[in-house]
Amino acid sequence: MDLSIRVYEKDGEFVASCPELDVYTYGQNAEQARARLKHVIAFYADTAQDLGYKIDATELLSSFQKPAQARTESFLN
């Protein structure tokens, strides 16, 4: 499974997401948000293994595609 990382800035914080797994993290900068996302993906894989799924965290994390440079997004209400 190929995973991608999307990073964007919103209200002075950086948000990193993995659309394929529908998980999000945030950080004070893009690198921190990205690092936190990798921890969440590892936890996701470990939990899936505990539930009996055959998922390798190392394999998932190695499949990350290098994200494009962080961008700023505004969300309209």
Q: What is the pLDDT of residue 74?
A: 42
Could you tell me which residues come within 8 angstroms of residue 64 by beta carbon, excluding any fewer than 6 positions away? Answer: 3, 4, 5, 38
DSSP state letters, 7-51:
EEEETTEEEEEETTTTEEEEESSHHHHHHHHHHHHHHHHHHHHHT
Domains in the chain, start-ordered, CATH in brackets?
3-63 (3.30.160)
Q: What is the pLDDT of residue 66?
A: 52
Short-list 67, 15, 24, 26, CA closest to 44 = 24
Q: What is the pLDDT of residue 68?
A: 46
Q: What is the pLDDT of residue 16?
A: 94
Are the C-beta atoms of residues 64 and 3 closer than 8 Å to each other?
yes
**pLDDT tens-digit readout, 15-68:** 999 998 899 999 999 999 999 999 998 898 888 888 998 877 777 777 665 544
Instruction: Say if pTM beats, i.e. exceeds, 0.85.
Output: no
